[in-house]
Structure 1
Amino acid sequence: MNKFDDQATKALLEKNLITENQYQEISAYRSLNIFSLNAELKLFLYLSVLLFTSGIGILIYNNIDTIGHIGILSLLLVVIGVCFYYCFKNSKGFQKQETTFEHPVLEYLVLAASILTCIFIGYLQFQYKPFGSNFRLATLIPTLVSFFCAYYFDNKSVLTIAITGLAAYVGLSVTPQDLLNNSNFYEDQSLSYSAIILGVLLVLWTIYSSRNQLKVHFNIIYLTFALHIISIAAISSLFEYFENGIWFLFLIVLAASSFYFYKISHELKAISLYVFMIIYAYIGINIFFIRIMENINFSDVWVLFIMILPIYFIGSIIMFIKLIKTFNKEIAA
């Protein structure tokens, strides 16, 4: 047992939170130096699913002419059917509270089945176009399947696929690289509104879920997506449409979003939400000040401005660290 654990256990004993006998049992157990491989095994299972589904894609690409489209689709359908059969057979059914499979492998079978369903629908639409030119409908179907699987089997990984599909349905790409480099926000202003509305709907769903105790542990995923989508859409629009006069609307959206996620991060004790909220708010504030300064003549005080700038950034870093430390103390209290 390391020194920190020993001191923590002694503190519990001194506060009479545990008995002397319990202290001896804890010390004896920790002296065995037993550690869990649960996280490592789950990581390997997750990588196995990703490698398997990636292998299916490579197999389709390299053997498209020899296997044939019908053969590939049939193979995918059989694998999907087998995965779902075992998952439904061993599941506890839908429950509003958090549930788990008795065997963790089945959780990753659900993930594999969901990913393969997306591949199947996408390949079917690409090759045979059963939905015509309506690619949004082809996106919506695997999204609905993923939402069903996420809630029925209580799978957070599948839920992320479902939310990503929902964002794609409204025209968004929610990978970090695409969001930061997505020119659609600049070319199509309505896409910014769609992104903000989608983020607000995700937040409203978390409020509804909390009131009805419906998979409350999913809320952190919904809120994470909502924070990124709303903030990036608002920041992109604030940067692009400053001269149009509507920039103030996006500034209000960003401020309201930052205030809400500031509160909810404390309620959920979610440091990830808190950190990204600070980053997005800081970026928005700096864009606003830069836009304001563009209309100010700094020719007379340019040297002073250059001298203050490093102090500003150093002070920002110190303030960021201080805010994180304060947050950690608050949630630990």
Structure 2
Amino acid sequence: MRPSQLQELRDKGLISHDQHTHLHAVLTKKIFSVFYELRTILYLGVLLFTTGIGILIYKNIGEIGHLLSIIGLFALTVGCFVYAFRFAHPYSDRRIKPPTPFYDYIVLLGCLLFISVISYVQLQYSLLDNGMGITTLITALFFFYAAYRFDHIVVLSLAITALASFWSIAISPQKWYSGDFITESNHHNTAIIFGAAIGIWSYILDRKEIKEHFTFTYMNFASLVFLAGALSGMFIDEHIYLLYLLILYLGCGATILFAHKKKSFLFLLYAFVFGYIGTTYLLSDVFLYETGLWFFYLLISCGTFIYFIIRFKNYFKRAE
């Protein structure tokens, strides 16, 4: 809306003078929101706080003592969750507004400190050597409970990550950069099953209208893990790579359907990139190297990708 249109509404009596003054200030950017900037600063504050505690304990461990450090971390963790339960709204399947401005950050801090306590006990006293997998599963279940009880999407991400770790699945930029995920990992089949299971579970919860705003996070993990597992299978089990290519195409199709449903360009990009890599591998194996068409294929595919970005980047907008 332009200021002239806003003035026209004021002249017709459709908005009051106070409303016109406020909206005009917003349109002319005299007033603007810093909501996301503040959220980013607060989340960084939580991460820096937990990192600072770790550095402080590491540098002064001789003076503080291991047992005292663990007790201190445990006390902080308990304090965060006491605060969380004290001010928590009753559970609801719908989105819940945080009861206080800092509520979400204190819940996140408590969960990160919980991980710190568990890790500290494991590294220092080796009490969990024989049950590390069970401990990881318990941590994941606890984070799922906290995510749903306190309606916290970031904690849900921690829960899914912990559950993936329980099944020995690890996907990170370092893994992709070093090639470990493709060349050394033997868990691509597990990744496919895990991604499909998370996706199906997310679909069921979404149909039952249980925490529908969690669906995007679930599907983000499910798509990446499933597609990465299928793509890795093509490179690892080369003698049956066509089977993994079919699985990859099925995952891309499901991702495209979700992209259309939620109007999300991100998921469409996932499907395009993974599908492109899989198709390129197929074509290179079938005829590209033998016929010398590799250069032309790169030109055409790059042009198609540019067209894809221009055509769909403004069409798809994530539905909030």
Normalised by the length of structure 1, the TM-score is 0.85
**CA displacement 1:6-54 (0-9 Å, x = unmatched):** 478699x7xxxxx742386654222232222222221111111010011
Q: How far apart, CA to CA, are the structure 2 residues paired with 1:31 and 1:314?
A: 44
Mark the runs of 5 or more structure 2 residues left unpaired by the alignment: none
The letter for the 2-side match of 1:236 is S
- CA distance, structure 2, for counterparts of residue 10 and residue 195 of structure 1: 57
Q: Is the 8 A contact 2:264 2:316 kept in 1?
A: no
Answering whether residue 22 of structure 2 is matched by residue 29 of structure 1, we say: yes
Q: Which residue of the partner structure matches residue 148 of structure 2?
A: 151
> Who is 2:305 aligned against?
317
Q: Which amino acid aligns with 1:218?
A: F
Match of 2:121 in 1: 124
The range that moved more, 271-280 or 31-40, is 31-40
Following superposition, the deviation at residue 152 of structure 1 comes to 0.3
Structure 1 counterpart SS, 2:210 = coil
| Aligned position for 2:263 | 269
**Which stretch shifts more, 126-135 or 232-241?**
126-135
Change (3 A) 1:8 1:148: farther
Q: Distance in 1 between matches of 2:254 and 2:4?
A: 38
Contact 1:131 1:138 in 2 (8 A): yes
Select which of 101, 105, 108 maps to 2:102.
105
Looking at structure 2, the residues matched to 210 and 309 of structure 1 have their Cα atoms a distance apart, in angstroms, of: 40
| Aligned-partner Cα distance in 2 for 1:8–1:181 | 55
- Normalised by the length of structure 2, the TM-score is 0.88
Residue deviations 1:86-141 (CA, integer Å, cap 9, x gap): 11100103211110222120110000000110111111122223333332223222
Match of 1:253 in 2: 247
Aligned Cα RMSD in Å? 2.5
Q: Is 1:135 the counterpart of 2:135 in the alignment?
A: no
Q: How many residues align?
A: 313
CA distance in 2 between counterparts of 1:72 and 1:64 reads: 8
Cα distance in 2 for residues equivalent to 1:43 and 1:260: 32
> Hey, what's the Cα distance between the residues in 1 that align with 2:118 and 2:274?
36
SS of equivalent to 1:196? helix
User: Unaligned regions of 5+ residues in structure 1, if any?
Assistant: 14-18
Report deviation, 1:222: 0.6
CA distance in 1, matches of 2:4, 2:201: 43
CA contact (8 A) 2:189 2:233 kept: no
Q: Indicate the SS of the match to 2:74.
A: helix
Alignment partner of 2:89: what SS? Answer: coil
CA distance in structure 2 between the aligned counterparts of 1:95 and 1:297, rounded to whole angstroms: 60
CA separation of 1:252/1:72 partners in 2, compared to 1, >3 Å: closer, same or farther? same
| 2:91 equivalent in structure 1 | 94
CA contact (8 A) 1:97 1:214 kept: yes
